[in-house]
Structure 1
Amino acid sequence: MATRDLTMGMIFLSQTLTGILGNFSLLSHYLYLYLTGCKFRSTDLVIKHLSVANCLVILSRGVPQTMAALGMKHFLRDIGCKLVFYVHRVGRDVSICSTCLLSISQAITISPRNTRWAELKAKAPKYIGFSVALFWMVNLILNVMVPLHVTENGSDKNMTREVDYGYSYSVISDRFTVYGAVYGALVLLRDIFFVALLLWASSSMVFTLYRHKQQVQYIRGTNVSSRSSPESRATHSILILVCTFVSLCTLSSLFHSCLTVLSNPSVWLVNTSALIAGSFPTVSPYILMSHDSRVHSLCCACTRNTQSPG
């Protein structure tokens, strides 16, 4: 095995293990909160589904990419290739939708009571569960065409362009019909719509936090407590999450476009695209946990119990 392949295999393996550990830690945290009877926030349900979607993305892309880099080329059967790509695409799209919903929910939560969002504050939590279920259902249906462009081998003479991921081939055929063009347009419009909503909600949160800070400084003068509220900490974490998501999503889209346009992309381009695609699902749980005061309280409680005499 070449040193380059071994290095890439170790990088993919590290990313996969780090992402799975982070997302399972986040889900375990919510399980602990449930078992101890702690009160959940309106955004916690979205975060739990985001973690599940992240796990699907990491497992469906990170595991086969690691095995391919370590020398196990094209080990999946045709049905396995189609299933892996389908699960990856559904997980990715649910992750986009969940991140958008998370941002919008937090923007409504921190909005002043004297604004037009006041009526939504009481109603929004009731629709979060329905919205998440709708995201899963729509993306499961919308991505049914993904397996049609995936195959176990690249020997079909009708293929014009193909991308070798090491374990499967993603192909674009000469028989690309009007239905395929319509499907591609729908997927693109959906992504643009959710990213636009994401940016709008994030801008609204930044404006609300800035205006609140100015009002507090005006009322209290210089005697302003440096301790931020739970809402502010949650908002900051979501803003960091959104910035990370938009940056990595833009990079991933650029690399994916290169893979689609080029007739024979290099192994380096394929591996880099896969690494970037798995970056957000890997880092997002750590961003969320680092700003969750309940995680810090749990850690402090565990420390006190450990240090107390038996």
Structure 2
Amino acid sequence: MPLSVFVRGMLYLSLTVVGVPGNATVILAFLLLLYHENRLLPSDAIVLHLACVNLLVVGVRCLLETLASFRLASVFGDVGCKVVIFVYRTSRSLSIWLTFVLSAYQCLSIVPPGSRWASVRTVVSQYLGFIFLFLWLLNTCMSSAAILFSFGTKNESSPADHGINVQFCYVRFPSKLIIEMNGAAQVGRDVVPMALMTLASLILLVFLYKHSRQVKGLRSSGGSGGGAEQRAAKAVVALVTLYVVLYGVDNGLWVYTLTVRKAMASSLISDLRIFFSSLYAALSPVIIIASNRKVNGRLRCDVQRKPVQEKDTCLSTM
């Protein structure tokens, strides 16, 4: 096995080892919470949906790339390439948009009651299921090019100028215009939520900074509201920062691919893009588990299994 292929397989293996158990743990924690309380708060539902999408990103792309790199399975034929690239692109873009929805909802959750933005938060909570459905439809449609233009490398026959080498697959576009239009649509799809979530996070930080100064005396006398708000803010800002850094690198490499002719046929550039975009899906559950008291509290309760104190302990950690 060539050294480059071995290194590639180890990198995808590291993402799989971290991302699959991490996202599965977050999903399990919220399912346990739903079982015990029969409901989820809107923010919890968003995080649960985000973890499911991230599990798709890591499981469908990184796990299968690992198996193919070490020649443990062969799934990248024509049909396999179409399915994997379509599911990966759809779930990857959904991960971006759900991170934006989470940051926006967290921003709305701290507005004063009775304000116009408080009514917006109520509307978002009521129609959260429709928001999920709309995002699925939007990103599914925008990823449909993967079904039309993805093939196994054995069918690679078009000029390198119109194709992108993805190691085991080849995305082959019929013309330069189409590849540029597809690339611009993907960049726009990522840049829009990135700008919006950055703005939401900045508003959140400014508000919390002012609020923390106003209630400093209350927190020092034993109040815990400020601490809960600060934990929520840190978690959201950490996720947004991770997204901006990793997807900024990903989109930078994508723009480089579109503008430099030889880069289109380079599997190294494609591997780097997939690695950085999948890194968010692998690391985000670590941030969620470390910062979300409902997640780690629920897991501790069910792992320890204290028959008498279970209910009180669980409620005290949320």
Equivalent of residue 237 in structure 2, options 236, 239, 243: 239
In structure 2, relative to structure 1, the CA distance for the partners of 1:78 and 1:109 (3 Å cut) is same
Q: Within 5 Å, which residues of 2 pair with 1:268-287?
A: 268-287=268-287
CA contact (8 A) 2:15 2:282 kept: yes
> What TM-score do you get using the length of structure 1 for normalisation?
0.86
Instruction: Deviation per CA, 1:7-30: give whole Å up to 9, x if none.
Output: 331221121122111111111001
Separation in structure 1 between the aligned mates of residue 300 and residue 84 of structure 2, nearest angstrom: 40
Instruction: Deviation per CA, 1:175-207: give whole Å up to 9, x if none.
Output: 645xx6555444433322221211111111101
Q: Within 5 Å, which residues of 2 pair with 1:134-153?
A: 134-153=134-153
Give the equivalent residue in structure 1 for 2:130: 130
Separation in structure 2 between the aligned mates of residue 182 and residue 161 of structure 1, nearest angstrom: 12
- Give the superposition deviation at 1:117: 1.6
- Give the superposition deviation at 1:109: 0.4
- Give the superposition deviation at 1:41: 1.8
In structure 2, relative to structure 1, the CA distance for the partners of 1:263 and 1:36 (3 Å cut) is same
Give the equivalent residue in structure 1 for 2:195: 196
SS of the residue 1:170 aligns to: strand
- Give the superposition deviation at 1:211: 0.8
- Give the superposition deviation at 1:304: 5.6
Task: Give the letter for the 2:58 counterpart.
Answer: I
Matched, 1:253 2:251: yes
CA contact (8 A) 1:162 1:171 kept: yes
Aligned residues with identical type, % of pairs = 24
In structure 1, the gaps of 5 or more residues are none
Give the equivalent residue in structure 2 for 1:155: 156
Give the equivalent residue in structure 2 for 1:211: 210
Task: Give the letter for the 1:162 counterpart.
Answer: G
Instruction: Deviation per CA, 1:128-185: give whole Å up to 9, x if none.
Output: 22111110012112221222332213532455243332211123433645xx655544
In structure 2, relative to structure 1, the CA distance for the partners of 1:157 and 1:73 (3 Å cut) is farther
In structure 2, relative to structure 1, the CA distance for the partners of 1:181 and 1:7 (3 Å cut) is closer
Give the equivalent residue in structure 2 for 1:95: 95
In structure 2, relative to structure 1, the CA distance for the partners of 1:254 and 1:77 (3 Å cut) is same
Task: Give the letter for the 1:98 counterpart.
Answer: L
Matched, 1:167 2:168: yes
- Give the superposition deviation at 1:62: 0.7
What RMSD over aligned residues (CA atoms) do the two structures have, in Å?
2.8
Q: Within 5 Å, which residues of 2 pair with 1:1-310?
A: 1-37=1-37, 39-71=39-71, 76-113=76-113, 115-153=115-153, 155-174=156-175, 176-177=177-178, 182-217=181-216, 219-220=217-218, 228-260=226-258, 261-263=260-262, 266-301=266-301, 305=305
> What TM-score do you get using the length of structure 2 for normalisation?
0.84
Task: Give the letter for the 1:17 counterpart.
Answer: V
